[in-house]
Amino acid sequence: MNVLKGLVVKDFQTIKSYKSTVLFMIVIFIVCAFLNGDVTNFLPIFIPLCFEMLGISSFSYDNLANADKYLLTFPIDKKDIVKARYIYILMFTLLGTVLGFVLTLLVQRIKISNVPDKECLSNTLAIIIGSLIAMMFLQAFQISIMYKFGAEKGRIIQMIMIVALMIGVSFIATALMNVLNISLDSFIIILKNYLLAILGISVMMLYIVSFVISCKIYEKKEI
């Protein structure tokens, strides 16, 4: 447990110098939300995404510092290194998700000079949960790709993967709406009522599979 804690703290220390950049980006998003009401709807997506990207970028920082070579001079299991990286990225993503939700509610509270109604809260919560599930889905692929191909090649592959996934999800959603003969509004209601729970469970299982794959890749990798 102490080893895992130390590895996670190491990753947090690595990106500590970038806290000003993250704070600046958050302030920009909030200002834009006040200037343009439509931007408020994207706050619970933008902010968690910034934190998620910062978490994934730890691969690049470690690569530049040759951190893995240094860590493996100690009696540390490779599996613990991978586990700590997953914990760190997930913690960062959850932190961004909570912050995004709180700031969105705060902006809504100030703009409408009233406590957001139940429908507004429900929509914001649906967006933030959907955003979290989507990011964890991407991470399940991203992290394994980073371990397999490295930070530089992995970044290119993950960009291609994101575009492919966006096209694929759009195609599947459109096909489902045509097959089931339902409108976009009805499809969104179904997502909010049923599929979010199913997707959440599926993503957690995918995350576990990703961890197992990453461990096998890293254990066979020559550092």
CA distance 98 to 47: 9
Tell me what pLDDT residue 215 has. Answer: 92
> Looking at the chain, how many residues does it have?
223
- pLDDT computed for residue 213 by the predictor: 93
Render each residue's pLDDT in the chain as its tens digit; 223 residues: 677 888 888 877 777 766 677 778 778 877 777 776 666 667 777 888 788 777 787 787 777 777 888 888 888 888 888 998 999 888 888 888 888 888 888 887 777 655 556 766 777 777 787 778 888 888 888 888 888 887 666 667 666 766 666 666 667 666 766 776 766 566 666 666 666 677 778 888 888 999 999 999 998 887 6
Q: Which residue ranges make up each domain of the chain?
A: 2-220
Residue 56 has a CB neighbour count (10 Å cut-off) of 23
130: which 2 tokens?
């959907």
HEC assignment per residue over the chain: CHHHHHHHHHHHHHCHHHHHHHHHHHHHHHHHHHHCHHHHCCHHHHHHHHHHHHHHCHHHHHHHHCHHHHHCCCCCCHHHHHHHHHHHHHHHHHHHHHHHHHHHHHHHHHHHCCCCCHHHHHHHHHHHHHHHHHHHHHHHHHHHHHHHHHHHHHHHHHHHHHHHHHHHHHHHHHHHHHHHCCCHHHHHHHHHHHHHHHHHHHHHHHHHHHHHHHHHHHHHCCC
From residue 112, alpha-carbon distances to 10, 34, 149, 201 in Å are: 42, 11, 48, 35
pTM of the model: 0.77
pLDDT at residue number 142: 85
- What is the Cα 147 distance to its own chain's centre? 17
Joined together, the tokens standing for residue 168 give 């694929």
Cβ atoms within 10 Å, residue 108: 21
How far, in Å, CA of 200 to CA of 35, rounded? 34
pLDDT for the residue numbered 209: 92
Task: State residue 185's pLDDT score.
Answer: 64
